[in-house]
Amino acid sequence: MKTTRLLACAVAAFASFVVPAASADTFPSRPVTLVIPFPPGGSTDVVGRLVGKALGDKLGQPVIIDNRAGAGTIIGAAYTAKAAPDGYTLLISSGTTFTVNPAIQPKLPYDPIKSFEPIGTVARTGLILLANKDLPVNNPKEFVALVKASPDKYSYASFGTGTTSQFTGELMLRATGTKMVHVPYKGSAPAMTDLMGGQVPFSVDTVTAAIPQLKSGKIKAIAVTTRKRAALLPNVPTFAESGFDLDADTWVAVVAPHGLPPEVRARLEKALGEVVASPEMRDKLTASGLEPDWQNGAATAAQIEKELPLMRAIAIRANIRPE
């Protein structure tokens, strides 16, 4: 009996030393939650679901999608920032969370740099200037000529105050030397509806959101805001091609709460990089109007730090404030 007790104690003591190390080595041992701070159906949600499924297959554990929309991604971002830094809660979001919100919100329940451990950037999407189909304008130079000929007559819609849509719109106006009234909407869908109906003559939206309506001929594509043309819209010119200094897009990245164990972070980064590199995932992202663009955690962190002062400068210059 005494020998049995001694053996049991020895086993328990040994287990107390080996279990923590084994748990790190075997991450993940249960499902991972991927928070999407947007409602279902948007471009980030599309990317999140594609990446989440593939990441789960790569990790050998299900990745559960958790849409926590509201307050311009702040609700989902704050939830993730306060979660345990164990790798089981991740956030996938656009530049809105990390560079746009901090540019216009004096107080946030998270810090874009200190609250998160970037895992990697998975995709980018350009934005596009759209027009009502009845407007006599078809390219950047015609757009500039039309707007300059009638100052203060034209307006452009965005999918919200302080969004990448408005920030890109303001960059476009500065690059082209034009002036238009900004009309913010609560989302892409209502802005698109009014654009098709003629309530607003122009709008700035993501390529992903614009493609279905462009295919139906209900709206016009004037130009994309990136340096190179969109893969799914090869006939749509860029502003840069017409001599305007404009290169603006938005990106989607995966982050974890700050304090993630290095070995868990490395495991997630490796798996995510392999997911984005797969031909199947690249084809799916491209078909959704996105440009696959893998950047590791360090590059993503550097991107956030680089963009933050730029976005703050735009917000001050254009007097962009939260609603």
Q: What is the pLDDT of residues 225-282, one digit of tens each?
A: 999 999 889 999 999 999 999 999 989 999 999 999 999 999 999 999 999 999 999 9
pLDDT band at residue 39 using 50, 70 and 90 as cut-offs? confident
Domain assignment of residue 11, yes or no:
no
Q: Please compute Rg for the chain using Cα positions.
A: 23
Say yes or no: 236 and 135 in one domain: yes
pLDDT band at residue 25 using 50, 70 and 90 as cut-offs? low
pLDDT at 30 over 60: yes
pLDDT at 1: 45
CATH code for position 179: 3.40.190.10
Say yes or no: 116 and 132 in one domain: no
Say yes or no: 149 and 69 in one domain: no
pLDDT band at residue 11 using 50, 70 and 90 as cut-offs? very low
Quick: pLDDT tens for 266-322.
999 999 999 999 999 999 998 888 889 999 999 999 999 999 999 999 999 888 887
Number of H helices, E strands in the chain: 12, 10
Helix (H) or strand (E) holding 158: strand 155-158
Say yes or no: 35 and 107 in one domain: yes
Quick: pLDDT tens for 72-94.
889 999 999 999 999 999 999 99
Cα 295 to Cα 102, 128, 257, distances in angstroms: 22, 24, 18
252, 164 contact by CB (below 8 A): no
Say yes or no: 256 and 107 in one domain: yes
Angle CA 311–288–120, to nearest 5: 50
Say yes or no: 148 and 117 in one domain: no
Nearest to 148 by CA among 126, 120, 169, 178: 178
pLDDT at 207 over 60: yes
Nearest to 209 by CA among 159, 134, 252: 159
Quick: pLDDT tens for 127-170.
999 999 999 999 999 999 999 999 889 999 998 888 889 999 99
pLDDT at 221 over 60: yes
Domain assignment of residue 17, yes or no:
no
Tell me how many domains the chain contains.
Answer: 2
pLDDT at 121 over 50: yes
Residue 259 CB neighbour total at 10 angstroms: 12
Domain assignment of residue 9, yes or no:
no
pLDDT at 38: 83
123, 78 contact by CB (below 8 A): no
Domain assignment of residue 153, yes or no:
yes
pLDDT at 15 over 80: no
pLDDT at 16: 44
Is the model more confident about 217 or about 2?
Answer: 217
Report for 24-28, 41-45, 111-115: range of highest mean pLDDT: 111-115
Domain assignment of residue 288, yes or no:
yes
CATH code for position 312: 3.40.190.150
185, 163 contact by CB (below 8 A): no
The residues with which 6 forms a beta bridge, in sequence order, are none
Classify residue 3 as exposed, middle or buried by CB count within 10 Å of its CB (0-12, 13-18, 19+).
exposed
Question: What's the farthest any 2 CA atoms get from each other in the chain?
Answer: 98
Which of 217, 242, 267 delimits the end of a domain?
242
pLDDT at 24: 53
Domain encompassing residue 109? 30-123+251-318
pLDDT at 46: 87
Quick: pLDDT tens for 167-177.
999 999 999 99
Say how far apart CA 201 and CA 133 lie, in whole Å.
Answer: 9
pLDDT at 13 over 80: no
pTM: 0.81
pLDDT band at residue 209 using 50, 70 and 90 as cut-offs? confident
Which of 194, 221, 242 delimits the end of a domain?
242
Say how far apart CA 244 and CA 140 lie, in whole Å.
Answer: 9
Domain assignment of residue 212, yes or no:
yes
